[in-house]
Structure 1
Amino acid sequence: MSFTSDIKAEICQVKLDDNEAKAQLCALLQSKGSLHMNWQGSYISVQMENAGIIKHIYTLIKRLYKIEGRLSVLKKMQLKKNNMYRLQIYESCTEILNDLGILTASGLHSSPIYKWIRSEKNARAYLQGCFLGSGSINSPKTTNYHLEMSASHEKQAYGIQKILERFYLPAKVIERKNVYVIYIKQGDKIADFLRLCNATSGLFLFEDNRIQRDFYNQLTRLDNCEVANEMKTFKAAKEQLACIQILEDHARQLQIPEKILQVMEIRKKHPEASINELCDEAYREYGEIISKSGMKHRLSKIKTMAKAWRSEDEEVDS
């Protein structure tokens, strides 16, 4: 099973009171249900690849309205295609839709029904239904975090977005192939959504993987930073050694201060040392305490003195 399937299976096990159950059922029928008419009258049809959710919808309808539905399996002829599971409700379907607020005198309502999202607990149940019907979450082991739910109607999509914002879950809406997609990409907000849906086991798994990945990413960044610093130190040391060589080539023509000579000797002995390490070596060799800025100043002085002689050498060569 996928991570999304595990989350949905866990949500189906959450205990609901009657109002929460109706809010969740309302969202499920709005996202996956359809109303049909035939010679016998009207009936509700819900069709999905997830047998567990179809069974869950059947259980909710039977519990709330004491009505039996008709379950069937549609076999697909294409290879590697999942079966489709269909639930059909022939009895009292108009009364069910009226009770849920989906069907009124003005027609079918696709946007969230106010009486099912007015209270916080019912709004949670409604979001659970939206996710069960059309939601998915990338596995936390993948390279990016992504949660999305889809809606066939623009009003429903932006209605779901507003409910999410009530719980401080900033979601965006885009249109994709005539379907409106509501999505969240922040890992911490996806974790909050799982907490909102009472998917405790899924939340623990998601957070565990997220923490591990963030920890390893941080280690990688630190390693990269350390390598970059080492390369920078190596490049600077190489340039300093070249400058020291120029000064030594012109030693007879120069009066180099003793403190500069000491730094030159330390750098030659320790060509890969950092500034701090050079300060430590200066103390060991000469008993002098040099600050980091002091060492930088002396190395800069070596570079300045060598630059003057390098320019003269270039003029002579030319």
Structure 2
Amino acid sequence: MVKGTHQALHDARNETVKIFINGEFFVREEAKISVFDSGYLVGDGVWEAFRVHGGKLLFIDQHLDRLWQSAKVIGIKLPFSREELIKNIHNTLEVNGMKDHVHVRAMITRGIKKTPSQDPRLTISGPNLVIIAEYKEADGESKNQGISLFTSAIRRGSPDYLDPRLNCHSKLHEVQALIQAIEAGADEALMLDINGFVSTCNATNFFMVKGDEVWTSTGAYCMNGITRGNVIKVCAQNGIVCHQKNFSLFDVYGADEAFVTGTFGGLTPVVKIDGKPIGNGGSGPVTTSLRQLYEGLVAQQLK
């Protein structure tokens, strides 16, 4: 079994889910897109993923803000409104009879190319929209036992060639980092920025606790995760000092607690980094408190 922040319980219903592709629904095994799609050819696309509970799309405005910003950054003019996208998402959930413990990914590529090429002028269709909704309930093992991290040699890139805040289809450097971590016997990868400061993980955002203070990166070299932002928000609302600052592995190895954040797993404790134990081998008091505060924020979304 794959262990990590995306560890989910098996659900046989996912074998027959219907997937939305450009206004039509296809059963999973028949859901296909052209090999000339720009996302397949050159990773030219953007995406968002979010949770659904009680039929409600959690933090959807924040996710769509990021999606529209990402599309604008890479020059994709979305041929639909936010309201139309939300309607298509709800239609996907309705077709599949989904309400709880659902994970949705909406993917948009520039479109179909005339021939394999980077050149956007060779795109002969409008943007392709795919919506995949699956039943995904987080396995409690990672949240209860924590995960281990390994610091990868793969760095987070500089904003002047591929801004790390862009949620694009090209995730090869994160994949490389994760492969290094797995080969080192860890669950996921910790990644440094171009200056050697701790930035983020391959698929989640990193936090650590020093005394009664919470530290996370400046956000300049990492995906500005929605859950990351919400954790920073609940810290501010509850008088918990949260520094967004540069820090190194020297600081991390001496942390009292550490955790990572993500849309799927929420807050997941980190119990070991590069073979060095962090805290007491589980979810520390600050991590536990923040998880409860974050879950309270989720509960507000469901009202």
Relative to the length of structure 2, the TM-score reads 0.29
1 or 2, which has the higher strand percentage?
A: 2
Name the structure, 1 or 2, with higher relative contact order (CA <8 Å, separation 6+).
2
- Which structure's CA Rg is the greater one? 1
1 or 2, which has the higher helix percentage?
A: 1
